[in-house]
């Protein structure tokens, strides 16, 4: 990729990029460099790139060709209709996690004064979305990673969401606090799963992905400790792996939850399980 190449027009830049990466990714990267709409790329193929823009675009294409996720290269990803800042300190929000949001909204509606907790908030996508979609609820979001919390706080400020951020390991920093709804998309991939060495996932924080030999270590801790932090009739909703629904329902049963259920994502995969805490027997 010689430096002496003269800057091409939009069509030429995309044609060059296509030799190295997917066209869809090339379009997202070029829109990011030119700060323009998708429509403009199509309507002005003859627009010549400025030298510095061409140089930045080439670097981004090279990095994408070497495997870096597009979301990290452009620094953001859409989730539930809003753009969230992301960095390699946080997991890139996934479309399947929108199921967790829909279930929380359906179960919860708006009950002013209610307290909601998001464990392992990462970019803050779940907590911030719930804070913005549910009126007048009190949102707390926890993460063990200080770097992740910086990203989440920047997102809350940018999107105008009011969320209390707490650094800590799951419930460790929450004392005796209780909530009406606890949600989490914890790490749930088995340590030896070859998926962790695949594609975009290679660049994501392992601490947000892997959880013990079966991927259940963190789900186990959360289910076991949630009862001490749920109000009577409060809900616990957990995202998990494609083959973990049965195991998570088992954990919920053992911990004494009621109304235990699993819900399928758009691909038909049971992706979220949860239950209601009936209160102390």
269 touching ligand GLN, by CB under 6 A? no
201 touching ligand GLN, by CB under 6 A? yes
105: closest CA among 181, 156, 184? 181
CA-CA-CA-CA torsion sign (187, 189, 190, 194): negative
178 touching ligand GLN, by CB under 6 A? no
Cα–Cα dist 218/26, whole Å: 37
Nearest distance from residue 253's CB to ligand GLN, in Å? 22
Cα–Cα dist 28/93, whole Å: 17
Would strands 270-277 and 230-239 be described as parallel, antiparallel, or unpaired? Answer: antiparallel
63-81 CB burial, b ≥16 within 10 A, e <16: bbeeebbbbbbbebbebbe
Residue 232: exposure state from Cβ atoms within 10 A (0-12, 13-18, ≥19):
exposed
Cα–Cα dist 156/164, whole Å: 10
Name the one range near ligand GLN by CB under 6 A: 98-106, 111-119, 144-152, 180-188: 180-188
Beta strands in the chain (DSSP E): 76-79, 82-85, 115-119, 138-143, 163-167, 179-184, 230-239, 258-264, 270-277
Name the one range near ligand GLN by CB under 6 A: 1-9, 174-182, 187-195, 223-231: 187-195
Nearest distance from residue 252's CB to ligand GLN, in Å? 18
Number of residues that bind ligand GLN (CB under 6 A): 7
3-state secondary structure of 214: coil
Among 90, 125, 156, 189, binds ligand GLN (CB under 6 A): 189
97-117 CB burial, b ≥16 within 10 A, e <16: bbbbbebbeeebeeeeebbbb
Nearest distance from residue 187's CB to ligand GLN, in Å? 5
274 touching ligand GLN, by CB under 6 A? no
Closer residue to ligand GLN in complex, CB, 174/208? 208
Name the one range near ligand GLN by CB under 6 A: 103-111, 156-164, 181-189, 225-233: 181-189
184 touching ligand GLN, by CB under 6 A? no
Where in 208-227 is the site for ligand GLN (CB under 6 A)? 209
Nearest distance from residue 114's CB to ligand GLN, in Å? 25
Nearest distance from residue 6's CB to ligand GLN, in Å? 41
Total residues found in the chain within this entry: 281
188 touching ligand GLN, by CB under 6 A? yes
193 touching ligand GLN, by CB under 6 A? no
Nearest distance from residue 209's CB to ligand GLN, in Å? 5
144 touching ligand GLN, by CB under 6 A? no
94 touching ligand GLN, by CB under 6 A? yes
Binding site for ligand GLN (CB under 6 A): 94, 185, 187-189, 201, 209
């Amino acid at each position: 990729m010689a430096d002496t190449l003269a800057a091409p027009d939009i069509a030429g830049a995309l044609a060059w990029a296509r030799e190295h990466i997917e066209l869809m990714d090339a379009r997202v990267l070029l829109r990011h460099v030119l700060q323009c709409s998708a429509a403009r790329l199509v309507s002005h193929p003859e627009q010549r790139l400025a030298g510095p823009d061409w140089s930045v675009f080439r670097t981004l294409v090279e990095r994408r060709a070497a495997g870096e996720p597009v979301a990290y290269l452009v620094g953001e990803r859409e989730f539930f209709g809003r753009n969230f800042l992301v960095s390699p300190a946080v997991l890139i929000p996934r479309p399947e996690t929108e199921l967790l949001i829909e279930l929380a909204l359906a179960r919860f509606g708006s009950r002013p004064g209610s307290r909601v907790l998001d464990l392992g908030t990462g970019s803050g996508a779940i907590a911030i979305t719930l804070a913005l979609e549910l009126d007048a609820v009190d949102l707390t979001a926890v993460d063990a990673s200080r770097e992740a919390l910086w990203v989440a706080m920047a997102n809350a400020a940018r999107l105008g969401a009011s969320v209390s951020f707490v650094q800590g390991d799951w419930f460790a920093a929450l004392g005796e606090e209780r909530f009406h709804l606890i949600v989490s998309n914890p790490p749930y991939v088995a340590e030896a799963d070859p998926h962790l060495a695949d594609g975009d996932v290679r660049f994501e924080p392992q601490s947000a992905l892997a959880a013990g030999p079966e991927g259940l270590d963190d789900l186990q801790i959360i289910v076991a400790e949630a009862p001490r932090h749920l109000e009577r009739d409060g809900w616990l909703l957990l995202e998990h792996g494609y083959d973990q629904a049965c195991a998570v329902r088992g954990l919920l049963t053992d911990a004494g939850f009621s109304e235990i259920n699993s819900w399928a994502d758009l691909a038909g995969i049971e992706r979220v399980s949860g239950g209601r805490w009936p209160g102390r027997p």
